[in-house]
Amino acid sequence: MTAIFGLTVRQLAGSRRLWLVLGLVSLPVLAAVVFRVGDSTTTSARFADNVTRTLVASAILPLVMLLFATSAFGNELVDRTLGYLALKPIARWRIVLPKLAAAFVVGGIPVAVSGFLAVALVGGGGALRGALATGAGLLVGAAAYAALFTWAGLATRHALLIGLVYVFVWEATLAAYLDGIRFLSIRRYTLAVIHGLDGARLATIENPLSAGAALVAAAIVIAGFTALTVRKLVRMDVP
Amino acid sequence: MSAPPEPTIVVDGVSKWFSGVVAVSDVSLVVEPGVTALLGPNGAGKTTLLRAIGGLTQPSQGTVTVFGERMRRNPALYRRIGYMPEHESVYDFLTGRQFVELGARLHGVADVAGASSRAIEIVDLAEHQDRRLGGYSRGMRQRMRLAATLVHDPPLLVLDEPLSGTDPAQRLHLRDVIRALAAEGRTILVSSHILEEVDELADRIHLMVSGKLAASGDYRAIRQKLDDRPFLVRVDCADPRALAAGLVRVEAVESVEITGTTGVRVRSRDVSSLQRALPAVARDRGVRLTRVEPLDDSLESVFEYLASGTGR
Protein backbone atom coordinates (compact mmCIF):
# COMPACT_ATOMS: atom_id res chain seq x y z
CA MET A 1 0.00 0.00 0.00
CA THR A 2 2.96 2.34 0.54
CA ALA A 3 3.66 2.33 -3.21
CA ILE A 4 0.18 3.68 -4.01
CA PHE A 5 0.35 6.11 -1.10
CA GLY A 6 3.68 7.48 -2.30
CA LEU A 7 2.46 7.66 -5.89
CA THR A 8 -0.69 9.56 -4.92
CA VAL A 9 1.21 11.98 -2.66
CA ARG A 10 3.49 12.78 -5.60
CA GLN A 11 0.49 13.19 -7.91
CA LEU A 12 -1.27 15.56 -5.53
CA ALA A 13 1.70 17.48 -4.19
CA GLY A 14 3.32 17.87 -7.57
CA SER A 15 0.50 19.85 -9.08
CA ARG A 16 -0.09 23.58 -9.28
CA ARG A 17 -2.94 23.31 -6.84
CA LEU A 18 -0.35 22.85 -4.10
CA TRP A 19 0.57 26.54 -4.42
CA LEU A 20 -3.09 27.53 -4.20
CA VAL A 21 -3.46 25.41 -1.09
CA LEU A 22 -0.31 26.84 0.50
CA GLY A 23 -1.77 30.28 -0.10
CA LEU A 24 -5.06 29.30 1.52
CA VAL A 25 -3.54 27.69 4.59
CA SER A 26 -1.29 30.67 5.20
CA LEU A 27 -4.31 33.00 5.53
CA PRO A 28 -5.27 32.06 9.14
CA VAL A 29 -1.65 32.42 10.23
CA LEU A 30 -1.41 35.82 8.55
CA ALA A 31 -4.68 36.87 10.19
CA ALA A 32 -3.28 35.85 13.60
CA VAL A 33 -0.07 37.80 13.00
CA VAL A 34 -2.05 40.88 11.99
CA PHE A 35 -4.19 40.51 15.13
CA ARG A 36 -1.10 40.29 17.33
CA VAL A 37 0.69 43.30 15.88
CA GLY A 38 -2.47 45.35 15.38
CA ASP A 39 -4.61 47.24 17.84
CA SER A 40 -7.75 45.16 17.90
CA THR A 41 -10.65 45.67 20.30
CA THR A 42 -11.68 42.02 20.01
CA THR A 43 -10.54 39.55 22.69
CA SER A 44 -8.05 36.85 21.80
CA ALA A 45 -10.59 34.08 22.44
CA ARG A 46 -13.26 35.66 20.24
CA PHE A 47 -10.78 36.32 17.43
CA ALA A 48 -9.50 32.75 17.60
CA ASP A 49 -13.07 31.44 17.50
CA ASN A 50 -13.95 33.61 14.53
CA VAL A 51 -10.88 32.54 12.55
CA THR A 52 -11.54 28.89 13.33
CA ARG A 53 -15.25 28.99 12.67
CA THR A 54 -15.65 31.29 9.70
CA LEU A 55 -12.33 30.93 7.92
CA VAL A 56 -10.67 27.58 8.64
CA ALA A 57 -13.54 25.14 9.36
CA SER A 58 -16.08 26.70 7.01
CA ALA A 59 -13.98 27.54 3.99
CA ILE A 60 -10.32 26.55 3.95
CA LEU A 61 -10.67 22.99 5.26
CA PRO A 62 -13.51 21.89 2.94
CA LEU A 63 -12.01 23.69 -0.07
CA VAL A 64 -8.56 22.19 0.40
CA MET A 65 -9.97 18.71 0.96
CA LEU A 66 -12.26 19.12 -2.03
CA LEU A 67 -9.31 20.00 -4.26
CA PHE A 68 -7.12 17.13 -3.11
CA ALA A 69 -9.57 14.33 -2.38
CA THR A 70 -11.52 14.64 -5.64
CA SER A 71 -8.17 14.42 -7.43
CA ALA A 72 -7.05 11.25 -5.65
CA PHE A 73 -8.94 9.19 -8.26
CA GLY A 74 -10.02 12.07 -10.50
CA ASN A 75 -6.51 12.56 -11.85
CA GLU A 76 -6.22 8.85 -12.67
CA LEU A 77 -9.55 8.91 -14.48
CA VAL A 78 -8.67 11.99 -16.52
CA ASP A 79 -5.14 10.75 -17.32
CA ARG A 80 -6.41 7.20 -17.92
CA THR A 81 -3.74 5.82 -15.61
CA LEU A 82 -6.11 4.04 -13.21
CA GLY A 83 -5.61 0.86 -15.24
CA TYR A 84 -2.02 0.66 -14.02
CA LEU A 85 -3.40 0.16 -10.50
CA ALA A 86 -6.57 -1.77 -11.37
CA LEU A 87 -4.61 -4.36 -13.39
CA LYS A 88 -2.64 -5.46 -10.36
CA PRO A 89 -3.32 -8.46 -8.09
CA ILE A 90 -4.36 -6.38 -5.11
CA ALA A 91 -7.71 -6.11 -3.37
CA ARG A 92 -9.52 -2.92 -4.32
CA TRP A 93 -9.56 -1.65 -0.74
CA ARG A 94 -5.79 -1.69 -0.85
CA ILE A 95 -6.00 0.86 -3.67
CA VAL A 96 -8.64 3.01 -1.98
CA LEU A 97 -7.12 3.28 1.51
CA PRO A 98 -3.70 4.64 0.48
CA LYS A 99 -5.36 7.15 -1.84
CA LEU A 100 -7.60 8.28 0.99
CA ALA A 101 -4.61 8.50 3.32
CA ALA A 102 -2.65 10.53 0.76
CA ALA A 103 -5.49 13.04 0.35
CA PHE A 104 -5.74 13.31 4.15
CA VAL A 105 -2.00 13.84 4.60
CA VAL A 106 -1.49 16.30 1.73
CA GLY A 107 -4.64 18.30 2.44
CA GLY A 108 -5.63 17.75 6.05
CA ILE A 109 -2.31 18.10 7.83
CA PRO A 110 -1.40 21.54 6.39
CA VAL A 111 -4.86 22.85 7.33
CA ALA A 112 -4.64 21.40 10.84
CA VAL A 113 -1.18 22.88 11.31
CA SER A 114 -2.45 26.21 10.01
CA GLY A 115 -5.38 26.17 12.47
CA PHE A 116 -3.08 25.17 15.32
CA LEU A 117 -0.58 27.95 14.56
CA ALA A 118 -3.26 30.59 14.09
CA VAL A 119 -4.89 29.91 17.47
CA ALA A 120 -1.51 29.57 19.20
CA LEU A 121 -0.30 32.87 17.71
CA VAL A 122 -3.44 34.73 18.73
CA GLY A 123 -2.54 33.77 22.27
CA GLY A 124 -4.59 34.52 25.36
CA GLY A 125 -5.35 32.21 28.26
CA GLY A 126 -5.21 28.49 27.43
CA ALA A 127 -3.95 29.21 23.93
CA LEU A 128 -1.99 25.95 23.68
CA ARG A 129 -4.96 23.81 24.67
CA GLY A 130 -7.18 25.72 22.27
CA ALA A 131 -4.62 25.30 19.49
CA LEU A 132 -4.35 21.55 20.09
CA ALA A 133 -8.15 21.21 20.16
CA THR A 134 -8.37 23.16 16.89
CA GLY A 135 -5.76 20.99 15.23
CA ALA A 136 -7.42 17.77 16.41
CA GLY A 137 -10.90 18.89 15.34
CA LEU A 138 -9.63 19.91 11.92
CA LEU A 139 -7.97 16.50 11.49
CA VAL A 140 -11.29 14.76 12.24
CA GLY A 141 -13.03 16.99 9.71
CA ALA A 142 -10.25 16.43 7.16
CA ALA A 143 -10.63 12.65 7.43
CA ALA A 144 -14.40 12.85 6.90
CA TYR A 145 -14.09 15.26 3.96
CA ALA A 146 -11.35 13.05 2.46
CA ALA A 147 -13.65 10.00 2.49
CA LEU A 148 -16.63 11.92 1.06
CA PHE A 149 -14.75 13.75 -1.69
CA THR A 150 -12.56 10.77 -2.67
CA TRP A 151 -15.74 8.83 -3.32
CA ALA A 152 -17.21 11.75 -5.27
CA GLY A 153 -14.04 11.99 -7.40
CA LEU A 154 -14.42 8.36 -8.43
CA ALA A 155 -18.20 8.29 -8.75
CA THR A 156 -18.85 11.39 -10.84
CA ARG A 157 -17.16 13.74 -13.26
CA HIS A 158 -18.85 16.64 -11.50
CA ALA A 159 -17.28 16.03 -8.11
CA LEU A 160 -15.93 19.56 -7.74
CA LEU A 161 -19.30 21.14 -8.46
CA ILE A 162 -21.15 18.74 -6.18
CA GLY A 163 -18.58 19.35 -3.47
CA LEU A 164 -18.94 23.12 -3.73
CA VAL A 165 -22.72 22.82 -3.46
CA TYR A 166 -22.32 20.60 -0.40
CA VAL A 167 -19.89 22.99 1.30
CA PHE A 168 -21.47 26.34 0.47
CA VAL A 169 -25.16 25.46 0.17
CA TRP A 170 -25.72 22.48 2.42
CA GLU A 171 -23.20 23.10 5.20
CA ALA A 172 -22.91 26.87 5.18
CA THR A 173 -26.62 27.57 4.77
CA LEU A 174 -28.97 24.68 5.40
CA ALA A 175 -27.11 22.77 8.13
CA ALA A 176 -26.16 26.02 9.84
CA TYR A 177 -29.78 26.98 10.40
CA LEU A 178 -31.70 23.71 10.39
CA ASP A 179 -30.87 21.78 13.55
CA GLY A 180 -32.49 18.63 12.23
CA ILE A 181 -29.73 18.10 9.66
CA ARG A 182 -26.72 19.13 11.74
CA PHE A 183 -25.77 15.45 11.94
CA LEU A 184 -25.20 15.60 8.19
CA SER A 185 -22.61 18.37 8.28
CA ILE A 186 -18.91 17.59 8.53
CA ARG A 187 -18.31 21.22 9.44
CA ARG A 188 -20.49 20.74 12.54
CA TYR A 189 -18.50 17.63 13.50
CA THR A 190 -15.27 19.62 13.26
CA LEU A 191 -16.53 22.44 15.45
CA ALA A 192 -18.08 19.99 17.94
CA VAL A 193 -14.80 18.12 18.41
CA ILE A 194 -12.91 21.39 18.97
CA HIS A 195 -15.49 22.49 21.54
CA GLY A 196 -15.48 19.07 23.16
CA LEU A 197 -11.70 19.09 23.64
CA ASP A 198 -11.64 22.65 24.93
CA GLY A 199 -14.91 23.84 26.44
CA ALA A 200 -13.72 27.44 26.37
CA ARG A 201 -13.61 27.37 22.57
CA LEU A 202 -16.59 27.98 20.28
CA ALA A 203 -18.97 28.21 23.25
CA THR A 204 -21.31 30.49 21.30
CA ILE A 205 -22.40 27.83 18.79
CA GLU A 206 -26.11 27.18 19.10
CA ASN A 207 -27.27 23.59 19.64
CA PRO A 208 -23.81 22.10 19.27
CA LEU A 209 -23.30 18.39 18.77
CA SER A 210 -21.56 16.62 21.61
CA ALA A 211 -17.98 15.64 20.80
CA GLY A 212 -18.90 11.97 21.19
CA ALA A 213 -21.79 12.21 18.76
CA ALA A 214 -19.61 14.16 16.31
CA LEU A 215 -16.87 11.51 16.45
CA VAL A 216 -19.37 8.71 15.90
CA ALA A 217 -20.97 10.57 12.99
CA ALA A 218 -17.55 11.30 11.47
CA ALA A 219 -16.57 7.63 11.85
CA ILE A 220 -19.78 6.59 10.06
CA VAL A 221 -19.08 9.04 7.21
CA ILE A 222 -15.48 7.83 6.89
CA ALA A 223 -16.39 4.12 6.98
CA GLY A 224 -19.47 4.52 4.80
CA PHE A 225 -17.89 6.53 2.00
CA THR A 226 -14.74 4.40 2.07
CA ALA A 227 -16.92 1.31 1.57
CA LEU A 228 -18.80 3.05 -1.24
CA THR A 229 -15.51 3.97 -2.93
CA VAL A 230 -14.28 0.36 -2.76
CA ARG A 231 -17.62 -0.87 -4.13
CA LYS A 232 -17.48 1.62 -6.97
CA LEU A 233 -13.93 0.62 -7.89
CA VAL A 234 -14.87 -3.07 -7.91
CA ARG A 235 -17.88 -2.57 -10.18
CA MET A 236 -16.84 0.22 -12.52
CA ASP A 237 -15.44 -0.05 -16.03
CA VAL A 238 -11.88 1.19 -15.71
CA PRO A 239 -11.07 3.67 -18.51
CA MET B 1 -1.36 -38.45 -30.22
CA SER B 2 -0.87 -35.53 -27.82
CA ALA B 3 -3.85 -33.58 -26.54
CA PRO B 4 -4.35 -30.10 -28.00
CA PRO B 5 -3.01 -27.31 -25.79
CA GLU B 6 -5.43 -25.96 -23.22
CA PRO B 7 -6.72 -22.55 -24.33
CA THR B 8 -5.39 -19.75 -22.16
CA ILE B 9 -8.28 -17.44 -22.99
CA VAL B 10 -11.83 -18.49 -23.83
CA VAL B 11 -14.19 -15.79 -25.08
CA ASP B 12 -17.73 -17.13 -25.28
CA GLY B 13 -20.46 -15.12 -26.97
CA VAL B 14 -19.18 -11.77 -25.75
CA SER B 15 -21.07 -8.62 -26.68
CA LYS B 16 -20.58 -5.13 -25.36
CA TRP B 17 -22.72 -2.13 -26.05
CA PHE B 18 -22.65 1.45 -24.82
CA SER B 19 -25.90 3.43 -24.81
CA GLY B 20 -27.27 1.62 -27.81
CA VAL B 21 -23.98 1.47 -29.76
CA VAL B 22 -22.70 -2.08 -30.23
CA ALA B 23 -18.92 -2.18 -29.85
CA VAL B 24 -18.54 -5.99 -29.80
CA SER B 25 -21.17 -8.36 -31.12
CA ASP B 26 -21.35 -12.01 -30.10
CA VAL B 27 -17.65 -12.81 -30.40
CA SER B 28 -16.39 -16.29 -29.50
CA LEU B 29 -12.76 -17.27 -29.79
CA VAL B 30 -9.99 -19.09 -27.99
CA VAL B 31 -6.38 -18.03 -27.55
CA GLU B 32 -3.68 -20.63 -27.05
CA PRO B 33 0.04 -20.37 -26.24
CA GLY B 34 2.04 -18.56 -28.91
CA VAL B 35 1.33 -15.19 -30.50
CA THR B 36 -2.23 -14.46 -31.53
CA ALA B 37 -3.16 -11.22 -33.26
CA LEU B 38 -6.47 -9.45 -33.06
CA LEU B 39 -6.58 -7.58 -36.35
CA GLY B 40 -9.05 -5.02 -37.57
CA PRO B 41 -9.49 -1.40 -38.60
CA ASN B 42 -9.84 1.36 -36.04
CA GLY B 43 -13.23 1.17 -34.36
CA ALA B 44 -13.61 -2.56 -35.03
CA GLY B 45 -14.01 -3.33 -31.32
CA LYS B 46 -10.55 -4.78 -30.70
CA THR B 47 -9.77 -2.63 -27.68
CA THR B 48 -13.20 -3.22 -26.16
CA LEU B 49 -12.75 -6.97 -26.54
CA LEU B 50 -9.25 -6.81 -25.04
CA ARG B 51 -10.60 -4.75 -22.15
CA ALA B 52 -13.25 -7.42 -21.53
CA ILE B 53 -10.54 -10.09 -21.64
CA GLY B 54 -8.45 -8.05 -19.19
CA GLY B 55 -11.38 -7.59 -16.81
CA LEU B 56 -11.40 -3.81 -17.23
CA THR B 57 -14.94 -3.81 -18.54
CA GLN B 58 -17.92 -6.05 -17.89
CA PRO B 59 -19.30 -7.65 -21.08
CA SER B 60 -22.97 -6.81 -21.66
CA GLN B 61 -23.38 -10.46 -22.61
CA GLY B 62 -21.21 -13.57 -22.66
CA THR B 63 -18.25 -14.69 -20.58
CA VAL B 64 -14.47 -14.47 -20.58
CA THR B 65 -12.35 -17.06 -18.82
CA VAL B 66 -8.59 -16.84 -18.46
CA PHE B 67 -6.64 -19.87 -17.23
CA GLY B 68 -10.05 -21.44 -16.59
CA GLU B 69 -11.18 -18.68 -14.21
CA ARG B 70 -13.65 -15.84 -14.60
CA MET B 71 -11.66 -12.70 -15.29
CA ARG B 72 -13.93 -9.95 -14.01
CA ARG B 73 -13.60 -9.04 -10.30
CA ASN B 74 -10.79 -11.52 -9.88
CA PRO B 75 -7.70 -9.38 -9.17
CA ALA B 76 -5.61 -12.36 -8.00
CA LEU B 77 -5.52 -13.51 -11.64
CA TYR B 78 -3.43 -10.45 -12.57
CA ARG B 79 -0.43 -12.24 -11.07
CA ARG B 80 -0.46 -14.32 -14.25
CA ILE B 81 -1.35 -11.57 -16.68
CA GLY B 82 0.53 -8.63 -18.09
CA TYR B 83 -1.84 -6.18 -19.76
CA MET B 84 -0.65 -3.18 -21.74
CA PRO B 85 -3.49 -0.74 -22.44
CA GLU B 86 -3.82 1.02 -25.78
CA HIS B 87 -3.57 4.60 -24.53
CA GLU B 88 -0.07 5.84 -23.94
CA SER B 89 -0.68 7.82 -20.78
CA VAL B 90 1.79 7.18 -17.99
CA TYR B 91 2.81 8.86 -14.76
CA ASP B 92 4.91 11.54 -16.44
CA PHE B 93 6.59 12.56 -13.19
CA LEU B 94 8.12 9.11 -12.67
CA THR B 95 11.34 7.96 -14.28
CA GLY B 96 11.14 4.94 -16.52
CA ARG B 97 12.75 2.80 -13.84
CA GLN B 98 10.42 4.07 -11.10
CA PHE B 99 7.46 3.22 -13.33
CA VAL B 100 8.66 -0.34 -13.87
CA GLU B 101 9.51 -0.74 -10.18
CA LEU B 102 6.04 0.49 -9.23
CA GLY B 103 4.56 -2.30 -11.37
CA ALA B 104 6.90 -4.84 -9.78
CA ARG B 105 5.96 -3.74 -6.24
CA LEU B 106 2.23 -3.84 -6.95
CA HIS B 107 2.62 -7.32 -8.44
CA GLY B 108 4.37 -8.46 -5.27
CA VAL B 109 7.63 -9.32 -7.05
CA ALA B 110 10.23 -10.45 -4.51
CA ASP B 111 13.30 -8.94 -6.18
CA VAL B 112 11.96 -5.60 -7.40
CA ALA B 113 15.33 -4.18 -8.47
CA GLY B 114 16.45 -7.33 -10.27
CA ALA B 115 13.15 -7.92 -12.04
CA SER B 116 12.96 -4.28 -13.12
CA SER B 117 16.51 -4.34 -14.48
CA ARG B 118 15.76 -7.50 -16.46
CA ALA B 119 12.54 -6.09 -17.92
CA ILE B 120 14.21 -2.79 -18.88
CA GLU B 121 17.07 -4.72 -20.42
CA ILE B 122 14.65 -6.73 -22.57
CA VAL B 123 13.21 -3.57 -24.11
CA ASP B 124 16.71 -2.11 -24.44
CA LEU B 125 16.11 1.05 -22.45
CA ALA B 126 18.67 0.70 -19.65
CA GLU B 127 20.46 3.80 -20.89
CA HIS B 128 17.34 5.96 -20.50
CA GLN B 129 15.79 4.37 -17.40
CA ASP B 130 16.54 7.30 -15.09
CA ARG B 131 14.88 9.91 -17.32
CA ARG B 132 11.34 11.03 -16.58
CA LEU B 133 8.66 9.39 -18.69
CA GLY B 134 7.32 12.83 -19.61
CA GLY B 135 10.46 13.40 -21.69
CA TYR B 136 10.32 10.08 -23.56
CA SER B 137 9.46 9.75 -27.23
CA ARG B 138 6.30 7.80 -28.08
CA GLY B 139 8.27 4.73 -29.06
CA MET B 140 10.38 4.79 -25.90
CA ARG B 141 7.25 5.17 -23.81
CA GLN B 142 5.72 2.12 -25.53
CA ARG B 143 8.81 0.08 -24.78
CA MET B 144 8.96 1.14 -21.14
CA ARG B 145 5.26 0.34 -20.79
CA LEU B 146 6.03 -3.10 -22.19
CA ALA B 147 8.80 -3.48 -19.60
CA ALA B 148 6.32 -2.65 -16.83
CA THR B 149 3.87 -5.14 -18.34
CA LEU B 150 6.28 -8.07 -18.25
CA VAL B 151 8.20 -7.20 -15.07
CA HIS B 152 6.43 -9.95 -13.07
CA ASP B 153 7.19 -12.54 -15.76
CA PRO B 154 3.54 -13.45 -16.52
CA PRO B 155 2.59 -16.46 -18.66
CA LEU B 156 -0.04 -14.34 -20.49
CA LEU B 157 0.58 -10.98 -22.13
CA VAL B 158 -2.25 -8.90 -23.58
CA LEU B 159 -0.80 -6.04 -25.62
CA ASP B 160 -3.11 -3.48 -27.18
CA GLU B 161 -1.40 -1.96 -30.25
CA PRO B 162 2.11 -2.49 -28.82
CA LEU B 163 3.85 -1.37 -32.01
CA SER B 164 1.93 1.87 -32.33
CA GLY B 165 4.11 4.96 -32.28
CA THR B 166 7.34 3.05 -32.80
CA ASP B 167 9.80 3.71 -35.62
CA PRO B 168 10.77 0.86 -37.98
CA ALA B 169 13.86 -0.12 -35.97
CA GLN B 170 11.93 -0.13 -32.71
CA ARG B 171 9.15 -2.12 -34.38
CA LEU B 172 11.59 -4.80 -35.49
CA HIS B 173 13.09 -4.92 -32.02
CA LEU B 174 9.70 -5.18 -30.31
CA ARG B 175 8.61 -7.84 -32.77
CA ASP B 176 11.69 -9.89 -31.90
CA VAL B 177 11.05 -9.34 -28.17
CA ILE B 178 7.45 -10.54 -28.50
CA ARG B 179 8.50 -13.58 -30.55
CA ALA B 180 11.19 -14.44 -28.00
CA LEU B 181 8.74 -14.14 -25.11
CA ALA B 182 6.32 -16.44 -26.94
CA ALA B 183 9.09 -18.93 -27.64
CA GLU B 184 9.46 -19.33 -23.88
CA GLY B 185 5.93 -20.79 -23.77
CA ARG B 186 3.86 -17.68 -23.07
CA THR B 187 0.52 -16.83 -24.53
CA ILE B 188 0.62 -13.41 -26.15
CA LEU B 189 -2.41 -11.63 -27.57
CA VAL B 190 -1.64 -8.48 -29.56
CA SER B 191 -3.95 -6.15 -31.40
CA SER B 192 -3.12 -4.29 -34.58
CA HIS B 193 -4.82 -2.54 -37.46
CA ILE B 194 -2.00 -3.26 -39.89
CA LEU B 195 -2.09 -6.61 -41.68
CA GLU B 196 1.58 -6.59 -42.64
CA GLU B 197 2.54 -5.81 -39.06
CA VAL B 198 1.21 -9.15 -37.82
CA ASP B 199 2.64 -11.14 -40.73
CA GLU B 200 5.87 -12.14 -39.04
CA LEU B 201 4.56 -11.64 -35.53
CA ALA B 202 1.52 -13.84 -35.05
CA ASP B 203 0.91 -17.55 -35.40
CA ARG B 204 -2.84 -17.02 -35.56
CA ILE B 205 -5.01 -14.09 -36.52
CA HIS B 206 -8.55 -13.19 -35.55
CA LEU B 207 -10.03 -10.54 -37.83
CA MET B 208 -12.57 -8.16 -36.35
CA VAL B 209 -14.76 -5.78 -38.30
CA SER B 210 -17.63 -3.66 -36.97
CA GLY B 211 -17.56 -5.50 -33.64
CA LYS B 212 -17.80 -8.96 -35.20
CA LEU B 213 -15.31 -11.72 -35.78
CA ALA B 214 -14.85 -11.74 -39.56
CA ALA B 215 -12.28 -14.50 -40.02
CA SER B 216 -9.79 -16.60 -38.09
CA GLY B 217 -6.71 -18.51 -39.17
CA ASP B 218 -3.00 -18.18 -39.77
CA TYR B 219 -1.57 -15.41 -41.89
CA ARG B 220 -1.53 -17.58 -45.02
CA ALA B 221 -5.21 -18.47 -44.66
CA ILE B 222 -6.17 -14.85 -44.12
CA ARG B 223 -4.00 -13.76 -47.04
CA GLN B 224 -5.64 -16.41 -49.24
CA LYS B 225 -9.06 -15.06 -48.37
CA LEU B 226 -7.88 -11.59 -49.22
CA ASP B 227 -6.48 -12.77 -52.55
CA ASP B 228 -9.72 -14.57 -53.38
CA ARG B 229 -11.84 -11.47 -53.12
CA PRO B 230 -12.75 -9.51 -56.28
CA PHE B 231 -10.45 -6.58 -56.93
CA LEU B 232 -11.50 -3.44 -58.69
CA VAL B 233 -8.77 -1.75 -60.71
CA ARG B 234 -8.91 1.55 -62.57
CA VAL B 235 -6.84 1.69 -65.75
CA ASP B 236 -6.33 4.98 -67.62
CA CYS B 237 -5.21 4.73 -71.23
CA ALA B 238 -5.42 6.45 -74.62
CA ASP B 239 -7.98 4.01 -76.11
CA PRO B 240 -10.25 2.47 -73.45
CA ARG B 241 -12.53 0.73 -75.97
CA ALA B 242 -9.64 -1.21 -77.51
CA LEU B 243 -8.28 -2.13 -74.11
CA ALA B 244 -11.71 -3.24 -72.86
CA ALA B 245 -12.19 -5.41 -75.93
CA GLY B 246 -8.91 -7.16 -75.16
CA LEU B 247 -9.52 -7.53 -71.45
CA VAL B 248 -12.93 -9.20 -71.75
CA ARG B 249 -11.17 -12.18 -73.37
CA VAL B 250 -8.87 -12.62 -70.34
CA GLU B 251 -10.06 -15.48 -68.12
CA ALA B 252 -9.13 -13.72 -64.87
CA VAL B 253 -11.33 -10.72 -65.70
CA GLU B 254 -14.90 -10.84 -64.40
CA SER B 255 -16.11 -7.58 -65.90
CA VAL B 256 -14.87 -4.44 -67.64
CA GLU B 257 -16.59 -1.07 -67.56
CA ILE B 258 -15.60 1.89 -69.71
CA THR B 259 -15.58 5.12 -67.71
CA GLY B 260 -15.37 8.30 -69.75
CA THR B 261 -12.94 8.69 -72.61
CA THR B 262 -9.73 7.67 -70.91
CA GLY B 263 -10.47 4.91 -68.40
CA VAL B 264 -11.79 1.44 -67.70
CA ARG B 265 -12.70 -0.27 -64.43
CA VAL B 266 -11.71 -3.92 -64.33
CA ARG B 267 -13.06 -6.43 -61.81
CA SER B 268 -11.06 -9.61 -61.19
CA ARG B 269 -10.72 -12.34 -58.54
CA ASP B 270 -7.23 -13.30 -59.66
CA VAL B 271 -5.15 -10.21 -59.26
CA SER B 272 -1.87 -11.99 -60.12
CA SER B 273 -3.21 -13.14 -63.51
CA LEU B 274 -4.60 -9.68 -64.16
CA GLN B 275 -1.22 -8.16 -63.38
CA ARG B 276 0.37 -10.43 -65.99
CA ALA B 277 -2.38 -10.06 -68.59
CA LEU B 278 -2.84 -6.29 -68.51
CA PRO B 279 0.50 -5.24 -70.08
CA ALA B 280 0.24 -8.03 -72.64
CA VAL B 281 -3.24 -6.94 -73.77
CA ALA B 282 -2.14 -3.31 -73.92
CA ARG B 283 0.89 -4.24 -76.01
CA ASP B 284 -1.16 -6.45 -78.39
CA ARG B 285 -3.78 -3.71 -78.87
CA GLY B 286 -1.23 -0.92 -79.15
CA VAL B 287 -2.72 0.95 -76.19
CA ARG B 288 -0.51 3.07 -73.99
CA LEU B 289 -1.38 2.75 -70.26
CA THR B 290 -1.11 6.00 -68.28
CA ARG B 291 -2.35 4.85 -64.89
CA VAL B 292 -3.16 1.59 -63.03
CA GLU B 293 -4.72 2.00 -59.59
CA PRO B 294 -6.53 -0.42 -57.26
CA LEU B 295 -9.80 1.24 -56.29
CA ASP B 296 -10.80 -0.61 -53.14
CA ASP B 297 -7.56 -1.89 -51.68
CA SER B 298 -7.76 0.01 -48.44
CA LEU B 299 -7.58 -2.17 -45.34
CA GLU B 300 -11.08 -1.09 -44.40
CA SER B 301 -12.51 -2.35 -47.70
CA VAL B 302 -10.66 -5.64 -47.30
CA PHE B 303 -12.07 -6.03 -43.80
CA GLU B 304 -15.54 -5.08 -44.95
CA TYR B 305 -15.39 -7.72 -47.67
CA LEU B 306 -14.39 -10.42 -45.20
CA ALA B 307 -17.02 -9.29 -42.70
CA SER B 308 -19.75 -9.44 -45.33
CA GLY B 309 -19.54 -13.23 -45.21
CA THR B 310 -18.46 -13.77 -48.80
CA GLY B 311 -14.91 -14.14 -47.68
CA ARG B 312 -15.48 -16.84 -45.11
Whether residue B169 lies inside any domain: the answer is: yes
Q: What is the mean pLDDT of residues B31-45?
A: 92
Count of structural domains, chain A: 1
Whether residue B75 lies inside any domain: the answer is: yes
Q: What is the mean pLDDT of residues A201-216?
A: 81
Q: Which of B203, B226, B249 is the last residue of a domain?
A: B226
Whether residue B237 lies inside any domain: the answer is: yes
What distance in Å separates residue A221's CA from the closest CA in chain B? 26
Judge whether B106 is closer than 8 Å to chain A, CB to CB: yes
Judge whether A88 is closer than 8 Å to chain B, CB to CB: yes
- The domain that holds B126 is classified in CATH as 3.40.50.300
> Using the beta-carbon criterion (under 8 Å), do A14 and B91 form an inter-chain contact?
no
* pLDDT tens, residue by residue, B132-141: 999 999 999 9
Chain B residues in contact with A7 (beta carbon < 8 A) = 91, 94, 102
The 3-class SS string of chain A reads CHHHHHHHHHHHHCCCHHHHHHHHHHHHHHHHHHHHHCCCCCCHHHHHHHHHHHHHHHHHHHHHHHHHHHHHHHHHHHHCCHHHHHCCCCCCHHHHHHHHHHHHHHHHHHHHHHHHHHHHHHCCCCHHHHHHHHHHHHHHHHHHHHHHHHHHHHHCCCHHHHHHHHHHHHHHHHHHHCHHHHHHCHHHHHHHHHHHHCCCCCCCCCCCCCHHHHHHHHHHHHHHHHHHHHHHHHHCCCC
> Using the beta-carbon criterion (under 8 Å), do A89 and B75 form an inter-chain contact?
yes
Q: What is the mean pLDDT of residues B143-169?
A: 94
> Using the beta-carbon criterion (under 8 Å), do A89 and B73 form an inter-chain contact?
no
B139 shares a domain with B277: no
Amino acid B311: pLDDT: 45
Least confident of A139-153, B69-83, B296-310: B296-310
Distance, in Å, from the CA atom of B5 to the CA atom of B32, rounded to the nearest integer, reads 7
Amino acid B3: pLDDT: 64
Judge whether A92 is closer than 8 Å to chain B, CB to CB: yes
Domain that holds residue B273: 229-307
Q: What is the mean pLDDT of residues B99-114?
A: 97
Q: Which of A79, A87, A234 sits opposite B89 (nearest CB)?
A: A79
What distance in Å separates residue A147's CA from the closest CA in chain B? 23
B248 shares a domain with B152: no
> Using the beta-carbon criterion (under 8 Å), do B85 and A83 form an inter-chain contact?
yes
Whether residue B204 lies inside any domain: the answer is: yes
B297 shares a domain with B182: no
Q: Which of B204, B226, B248 is the last residue of a domain?
A: B226
pTM (2 d.p.) = 0.83
> How far is C-alpha B74 from the chain's CA centre?
27
> Using the beta-carbon criterion (under 8 Å), do B78 and A81 form an inter-chain contact?
no
pLDDT at B272 over 80: no
Amino acid B296: pLDDT: 63
Domain that holds residue A80: 2-235
* pLDDT tens, residue by residue, A72-113: 999 899 999 999 999 999 999 999 999 999 999 999 999 999
B157 shares a domain with B234: no
Distance, in Å, from the CA atom of B265 to the CA atom of B179, rounded to the nearest integer, reads 42
pLDDT at B19 over 70: yes
Q: What is the mean pLDDT of residues B183-203?
A: 89
B260 shares a domain with B121: no
Reference A230, options A140, A141, A98, A103; nearest CA is: A98
> Using the beta-carbon criterion (under 8 Å), do B76 and A89 form an inter-chain contact?
yes
Percent of chain B whose pLDDT exceeds 70: 91
Q: Which of B83, B94, B105 sits opposite A87 (nearest CB)?
A: B83
Q: What is the mean pLDDT of residues A49-53?
A: 90
pLDDT class for B303, splitting at 50, 70, 90? low
B243 shares a domain with B292: yes
Chain A residues in contact with B160 (beta carbon < 8 A) = none
Interface test mutation site (partner B, options A87, A230, A231, max chain B beta carbons within 10 A): A87
pLDDT at B5 over 70: no
Residue of A nearest to B109 (CA): A89
B266 shares a domain with B202: no
Whether residue B285 lies inside any domain: the answer is: yes
pLDDT at A197 over 70: yes
* pLDDT tens, residue by residue, A116-162: 999 999 877 778 999 999 999 999 999 999 999 999 999 999 999 99
B248 shares a domain with B205: no
Amino acid B312: pLDDT: 43
What distance in Å separates residue A238's CA from the closest CA in chain B? 5
Judge whether B102 is closer than 8 Å to chain A, CB to CB: yes
B218 shares a domain with B72: yes
Count of other CB atoms within 10 angstroms of residue A154: 23
- Residue A83, CA atoms < 13 Å, CB-side half-sphere: 27
For residues B188 and B182, is the Cβ–Cβ distance under 8 A?
A: yes
Chain B residues in contact with A14 (beta carbon < 8 A) = 93
Count of structural domains, chain B: 2
What mean pLDDT is reported for chain A? Answer: 91
B189 shares a domain with B83: yes
B259 shares a domain with B198: no
B221 shares a domain with B234: no
